[in-house]
Amino acid sequence: MAAELGHVTVVFAGQSESWAKWIDHQIRAAGRGTTLIRWNPLRRPPTAEAFTDLLSAPGRVLLVIDDWHERLGNERFEAWAEALRQVLPAYHDRMAAVSITARPMPEAVIALAPVELRGLRPEVARSRVLECAGIAAPGTLIDLRRGPRFPDDPPDVWQVPRRNRRFVGRTELLEKVYGAFSAAGADGAAVALLGPGGIGKTQLALEYVHRFAGEYDIVWWVNAAQRVTARQQFADLASALDVPDSGDLATIITAVRRELDRTARPWLLVLDGAGDPERLTDLVPEGRGHILVTTLKSEWGAHAETIAVPAFERRESVAFAERRTERLGDAQAARLAEAVEDMPLLLDQTAAWLDINPTVPVDDYIRDIRDGRPDHFGVMTSGQYPQSFEVAWAKLVNTLREGSESAWQLLNLLVCFSPDVVPVRLLQTARHSDLPAELAELIAEPSSWNTALRRLSEITSMRIEYEPGPRMDSQTVGTLRMHRLFHRFVRSIQSPADAERYSAAARKVLVSADPRDSSSAGNWARYAALIPH
C-alpha cells in the first residue's frame, strides 16, 4: 500500500506531451514511481464514468492542464465540464493539477486549483511539481540539464512558422509520426506525410513540430515547393550552425549537410510541400536527425516512411468548425462537414465565411454548397491557410499540367460528367472514335491508364471506388468521386476550346452508352448510371 501511495500517475492530453515527460522525469528523479497516461478527450465519451476510469490508477493523480477544452465542440465541452464537476468531490483528496496554458480555464478545472508552470525558471517549476505530487523537495541539488529539456526553453536553433491555435484532432497521425521517429532510436529517420492539397499536411507537420519541439536542439522549416527557395532556406541554416559563409550557395548547402551529418545534437528538418525527391536530394542529410516531409508525391516512399493523411474524421470536423465560428452547433457543424467532405481547407474557409457573414442563414449556406449554387457561394481565406481556395486548386492543376499531362487531359474530360460519380468504367468501354485521340490512346494502354488515375487520386481529392474485375481475384476502378468545388473550379479554368472539345466527347460517350429502350426494366440500372450526367 505504501508503494501505491508513493506512486504518481501523470495524465496529459497529447498537446502537452513534452511537459508531461519533463514532469514525469522530475518525479522519478525524486525517487517515486510514475505512470504516464495520454488522454484524448475527443475520443472518450463525456461521462463521469470516463473520468472515473481515468482516475482509477493507484496513488496520486497529477493532471497536466493545457487548452484541451478549446479543441472540443461547444456541446461536447459542456458535457465534459459537467462530468468533471460530478467526479471531483470523490477524488479531490488525491488529485492535483498543474497548468501550462495562459488561456482562461473553465470553472470545473479552476476548482482543482492548478499550479501555474509557464513563465517560471526550471528550478521553481520543479519545486512546484514535487509539491503538487506530495513529495518533499530533496536536500541535494539536481542537475536539471539532465533528462528532457525544460519545455519553456525553445530549441537552440529554431525557424518554424507560428503554431495554428485552431488545430484539432489528428492524434493518431501525430502518434504515428512520433512513433516512426522513436522507432529509429539513435539512427536517422525520415517520414513523409502524403495526401492531396487542402487535406491538412502542412498543419499536421506544424503541430508535430510545436508539440514535440522539446525533443530537439535544432528545428528548421524549409518551404520546399520551389527548388530555388528550398535551397536558399536550407542554406540559411548555416549561420545558426556557425558554418562559414563561402559565398557559394552549393558549397554552403554541402557544408550544412555535413554539419547535420556529424552533429550529436538532435535535429528536425521539415521539407514542406516537397515535389519530386530527386530535385531535393542535396537538401536531405544522412545524419542521426529526423526529416519530416509534406508532399503530394508518392515517390517519397523510396526515401521515407510514408503516412497517408486523410480528411478529418467527422468528430474532428465538428470540433474544428465550432472553434472556427461560434455560429455552429454540433448538428450544423456536422452538416457543413458533410457538405465539404470533411476536407480541412474547405472546412476552414467555409466556416470562416459563415463567421463574417452573420446574417446569412447557416442552413441556406450549407445547402448552397451541397447543391452547387455558385451565385450564392463564397469562400474566405484564413490566416492559417495563406493561399486562397482558387490558388490551392491552381497549385494542383499546375502539378498535373507540368508533371502528368495525360492525367490533366483525363481530368478535363472527367469534369464534363457529374462530380458525384464519374463513370470511369464507361470511358473504358467507350468507342475510341468518341474520344480525343490522346485519351483513346491512354485508355487503350492499361498501365498508362492506371497511372493517370492513380496520379489524379494522389494529387486531387478524388476518391476511387473499386469494383470486381474480369478475374474473380481482381478489382478494377469503377467510378471516381470528385468534390463539387474542385469540379467547378476546373470547369471554370478550361479554355472555351477545351471546354467544347471535352464536352463534345462526353456527350458522344453518353449517347453511345444509351440502350435506347427506357421501357425495358433490364436497362434501368444503365439509365440510372447515365442520367446524373
Question: CATH number, domain at 227?
Answer: 3.40.50.300
Residue 528 confidence (pLDDT) = 66
pLDDT of residue 132 exceeding 80: yes
pLDDT of residue 523 exceeding 80: no
Are 499 and 413 part of one and the same domain?
yes
Q: CA geometry: angle at 177 spanning 175 and 180, to 5°?
A: 105
pLDDT of residue 381 exceeding 50: no
Q: How confident is the model at residue 376 (pLDDT cuts 50, 70, 90)?
A: very low
Question: Which among 254, 280, 308 is the end of a domain?
Answer: 308
d(CA 81, CA 77): 6
Are 230 and 354 part of one and the same domain?
no
Nearest residue to 97 via CA among 127, 123, 67, 133: 133
Residue 2 confidence (pLDDT) = 40
Question: Which among 253, 283, 308 is the end of a domain?
Answer: 308
Question: Which among 273, 308, 343 is the end of a domain?
Answer: 308
The grid coordinates of residue 507 equal 456527350
403 within 8 A of 411, measured Cβ to Cβ? no
Q: How confident is the model at residue 463 (pLDDT cuts 50, 70, 90)?
A: low
Are 69 and 164 part of one and the same domain?
no
Nearest residue to 112 via CA among 6, 3, 11, 1: 11
Asked, for residue 251, whether it belongs to a domain, the answer is yes
Are 11 and 105 part of one and the same domain?
yes
The grid coordinates of residue 187 equal 539512427
| Structural domain count of the chain | 4
Are 166 and 124 part of one and the same domain?
no
Q: How confident is the model at residue 524 (pLDDT cuts 50, 70, 90)?
A: low
Asked, for residue 116, whether it belongs to a domain, the answer is yes
Between 104 and 141, the more confident residue is 104
Asked, for residue 29, whether it belongs to a domain, the answer is yes
Instruction: Kindly report the three-state secondary structure assignment for every residue of 130-194.
Output: HHHCCCCCCCCCCCCCCCCCCCCCCCCEEECCCCCCCCCCCHHHHHHHHHHHHHCCCCCEEEEEE
Asked, for residue 144, whether it belongs to a domain, the answer is no
275 within 8 A of 293, measured Cβ to Cβ? no
Q: Which domain holds residue 428?
A: 389-530
pLDDT of residue 501 exceeding 80: yes
